[in-house]
């Protein structure tokens, strides 16, 4: 297929070529893979400035998306690749083969550097989903930092650079520029830009940015960062975000209130306990959805309020395909019991969905992320249960709301009133505000193809 780049794609490609360190914050659907591959082709086969490229990506994206993109575009003919996923034998065979680009999943970065026995002689590294390196304590981060001085060129790609707040940025940029812009130590970064937020006498639980900190951080990273929103450059359909209130009766509310207050409740003779705040949140979200795991791992049903609302939405869709995002396994089982649902877990099921052969489909946000195109199969998404992860939330929404979608996209959120659902929805919105500020601050503005 012939590649006809948009002006923003040309700009992003040139930015990678001209900057040995580049952070490319592209929203889903803007073509970050082909942009990066076009830059790699220029650097390797036209300018001879790069010899070996390592692409680090989520497993499915490493195995499928990057190879498909290389083979898809005619202007990339001549670029060879090897996919180092699978068994250790398969990974080693790929890494010892002769290729321009070596593609590996992020879980095997530590193995590659510390245990594979292969010299790390890649002079260019592309990190697809830079946000997966936001923890400076992870093995993948520490391993890559050991070889970072040997890397001449590095590219960080993501659409969600700070899904959990500005603190995420330190590790990402420490890896990109080795601490030049945001400092070499997380403690100093925190002291410079943040102040304690939630705390007791002995422990600080969270931090918030100091006045002016966001602007200062954005300014420091702006020279190696560009950011683009899909709505700025693509003709996307209308998007309707709809919160569907779900009302519980007094008895159901009382059950949740007891759980929240005492960290324990009894439902149908079974004890439901939570050992800490995170476990409590997990239990309360389950209960808002209508069922919960008891202390023995069995499922106790509480109500069908969300199933009833879901039935209303499916009926109102009047035969149009509906995609349901679920979080807990027992939610899926209850949905399957009530509706004829196909879970999108394989290439065949995804092909059927995109071919219009599935009316009701279900998907888990953790498997609905990077590199999955579902826009051909429908335009209605229902969040049966929410996730705290902004990244998974946005990535799941972007499976339908992306380039190639022809219908108005409607995203319904089933929100049980006066429950943890409302807290999660509020938190997602607040995190999104922080991230949007970052994206807007470093957004590339194009006029006639020239950044201004």
- Give the number of other CB atoms < 10 A from CB of residue 350: 20
DSSP-assigned beta bridge partners for residue 382: 324, 412
- Mean per-residue pLDDT for 425-442? 77
Q: Considering the entire predicted model, what is its pTM?
A: 0.74
Q: 94 and 206: one domain?
A: yes
Q: 245 and 165: one domain?
A: no
Q: 200 and 137: one domain?
A: yes
Question: Does 70 have pLDDT greater than 80?
Answer: yes
- Mean per-residue pLDDT for 52-73? 90
CATH of the domain at 222: 3.40.50.10810
428 inside domain? no
Q: 131 and 40: one domain?
A: yes
Count of structural domains within the chain: 2
| Continuous segment of H or E residues that includes residue 153 | strand 153-158
**Which residue segment(s) compose the domain that 385 sits in?**
239-417
253 inside domain? yes
424 inside domain? no
Q: Are 186 and 171 in contact (CB under 8 A)?
A: yes
423 inside domain? no
1 inside domain? no
Could you report the per-residue pLDDT of 280-336, keeping only the tens digit for each? 788 889 989 999 887 778 888 889 999 999 999 998 887 899 999 999 999 999 999
2 inside domain? no
Q: 25 and 126: one domain?
A: yes
- Report the pLDDT value the prediction gives residue 271, as an integer from 0 to 100: 64
Q: 152 and 268: one domain?
A: no
Q: Are 15 and 22 in contact (CB under 8 A)?
A: yes
Q: 198 and 257: one domain?
A: no
Q: 268 and 379: one domain?
A: yes
Q: 315 and 216: one domain?
A: no
431 inside domain? no
426 inside domain? no
Q: What gap in Å lies between CA 192 and CA 201, rounded to an integer? A: 22
Q: What gap in Å lies between CA 4 and CA 290, rounded to an integer? A: 49
CATH of the domain at 326: 3.40.50.300
Q: 62 and 211: one domain?
A: yes
Q: What gap in Å lies between CA 112 and CA 82, rounded to an integer? A: 14
- Report the pLDDT value the prediction gives residue 144, as an integer from 0 to 100: 97
Q: 289 and 411: one domain?
A: yes
Write out the two tokens for 119.
């010299």
Q: 325 and 401: one domain?
A: yes
- Mean per-residue pLDDT for 258-281? 70
The CA-based angle 293-295-301, given to 5 degrees, is 30
């Amino acid at each position: 297929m012939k590649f006809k780049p948009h002006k923003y794609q040309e700009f992003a490609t040139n930015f990678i070529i001209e900057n040995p360190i580049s952070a490319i914050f592209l929203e889903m659907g803007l073509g970050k893979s082909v942009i990066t591959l076009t830059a790699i082709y220029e650097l390797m086969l036209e300018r001879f400035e790069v010899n070996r490229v390592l692409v680090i990506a989520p497993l499915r994206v490493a195995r499928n998306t990057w190879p498909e993109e290389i083979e898809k575009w005619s202007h990339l003919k001549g670029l060879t690749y090897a996919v180092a996923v699978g068994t250790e034998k398969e990974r080693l065979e790929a890494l010892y083969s002769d290729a321009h680009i070596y593609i590996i999943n992020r879980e095997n970065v530590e193995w590659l550097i510390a245990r594979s026995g292969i010299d790390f002689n890649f002079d260019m590294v592309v990190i697809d989903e830079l946000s997966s390196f936001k923890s400076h304590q992870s093995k993948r981060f520490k391993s890559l930092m050991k070889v970072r001085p040997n890397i001449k060129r590095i590219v960080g790609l993501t659409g969600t650079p700070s899904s959990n707040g500005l603190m995420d940025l330190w590790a990402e940029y420490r890896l990109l520029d080795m601490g030049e812009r945001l400092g070499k130590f997380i403690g100093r970064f925190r002291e410079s830009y943040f102040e304690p937020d939630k705390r007791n006498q002995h422990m600080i639980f969270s931090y918030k940015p100091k006045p002016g900190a966001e602007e200062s951080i954005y300014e420091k990273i702006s020279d190696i960062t560009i950011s683009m929103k899909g709505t700025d450059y693509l003709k996307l359909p209308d998007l309707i975000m709809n919160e569907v209130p779900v009302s519980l009766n007094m008895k159901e509310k009382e059950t949740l209130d007891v759980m929240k207050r005492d960290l324990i409740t009894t439902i149908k003779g079974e004890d439901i306990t939570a050992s800490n705040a995170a476990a409590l949140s997990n239990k309360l979200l389950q209960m808002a959805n209508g069922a919960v795991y008891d202390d023995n791992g069995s499922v106790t049903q509480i109500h069908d309020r969300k199933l009833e609302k879901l039935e209303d939405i499916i009926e109102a869709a009047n035969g149009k395909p509906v995609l349901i995002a679920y979080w807990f396994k027992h939610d899926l089982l209850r949905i399957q019991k009530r509706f004829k649902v196909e879970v999108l877990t394989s290439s065949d099921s995804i092909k059927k969905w995109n071919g219009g052969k599935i009316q009701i489909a279900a998907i888990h946000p953790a498997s609905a992320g990077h590199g999955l195109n579902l826009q051909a199969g429908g335009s209605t998404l229902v969040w049966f249960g929410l996730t705290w992860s902004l990244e998974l939330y946005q990535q799941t929404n972007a499976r339908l709301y992306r380039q190639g979608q022809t219908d108005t996209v409607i995203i319904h959120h089933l929100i049980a009133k006066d429950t943890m659902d409302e807290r999660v929805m509020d938190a997602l919105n607040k995190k999104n505000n922080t991230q949007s500020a970052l994206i807007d601050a470093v957004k590339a503005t194009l006029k006639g193809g020239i950044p201004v």
